Amino acid sequence: MGTDSPLMWIQWLHARRTNGHRGPYRHIDRLHDGEFEPTLRAALHTAWAWQA
């Protein structure tokens, strides 16, 4: 499993995250809300970390 695994990305999209000023959120909700650029940036950082 790695960056090419659809299951890993599904889990990443649906996992709850916390942000101090914003509260809990999921990446899938951010995409739905139109926050494409920050979500894609987070996905790139995650992919780089998974490849390391």
> Are 3 and 50 spatial neighbours (Cβ–Cβ below 8 Å)?
yes
> Residue 4: what pLDDT?
87
**pLDDT at residue 20 in the model:** 72
Other Cβ atoms within 10 Å of 31 Cβ, number: 14
Residue 24's pLDDT is what?
A: 87
Q: Report the alpha-carbon angle 12-37-6, nearest 5.
A: 30
Whole-structure pTM value: 0.81
Q: Are 24 and 18 in contact (CB under 8 A)?
A: yes
List, for residues 1-48, the tens digit of each pLDDT value.
668 889 999 999 999 988 777 788 899 999 999 999 999 999 999 999
* Residue 1 confidence (pLDDT): 61
